[in-house]
Amino acid sequence: MIIEFTSVKKNFGKFPALKGVSFSVPEGSITGFIGRNGAGKTTTVRTMMGLMNYKGSAKVKGREVKEGYALLREGIGYMPETFSLYPYLSCKEMIEFNGKFFEKIDYDKIKNYAEIFELDLNKRIEFLSKGTKKALSFIIAVSTNPEILILDEPLSGMDPIARNNFLKILSEECGKNGTTIFYSSHILEDVEKIADRIVLIHKGKVLLEDELDSIKENYKRITVVFKNAISKKDIEQINGVKRTEEDGNGFLIITKHNPENILEQLNKLSPSSIGIFDMNLNDVFKEIVGGEK
Least confident of 2-11, 62-71, 111-120: 62-71
The pLDDT tens digits for 243-266 are 999 877 789 999 998 899 999 988
CATH number of 3-214: 3.40.50.300
- Selection from 78, 77, 79, 11 nearest residue 40 by Cα: 11
pLDDT band at 178 (very low <50, low <70, confident <90, very high): confident
| pTM for the model | 0.89
pLDDT of residue 24: 96
- Domain positions in the chain: 3-214, 219-289
- pLDDT reported for residue 72: 60
pLDDT, tens digit, for every residue of 208-223?
Answer: 999 999 999 999 999 9
In whole numbers, what is the pLDDT of the chain averaged over residues?
A: 89
Euclidean distance between CA atoms 159 and 129, whole angstroms: 11
Residue 69's pLDDT band (cuts 50, 70, 90): low
- Length of the chain (residues): 293
Closest residue by Cα to residue 272 from 238, 224, 231: 224
User: What's the rounded mean pLDDT across residues 118-142?
Assistant: 91
pLDDT at 293 over 60: no
Mean predicted confidence (pLDDT) in 35-56: 90
Where do the H-state alpha helices sit in 200-240?
Answer: 212-218, 232-236
Residue 237: name the closest of 214, 264, 220, 262 by CA. 262
Query: Can you tell me the distance from the alpha carbon of 52 to that of 65, in angstroms, rounded to the nearest whole number?
Result: 10
* CB within 8 Å of 79: residues ≥ 6 apart: 137, 138, 140, 141, 149, 150, 151, 152, 154
One CATH from 3.90.228.20, 2.60.40.10, 3.40.190.80, 3.30.70.980 for 219-289? 3.30.70.980
What percentage of the chain has pLDDT greater than the value 90? 53
Report the distance separating Cα 279 and Cα 285, nearest Å: 10
Average pLDDT value for residue range 263-278: 90
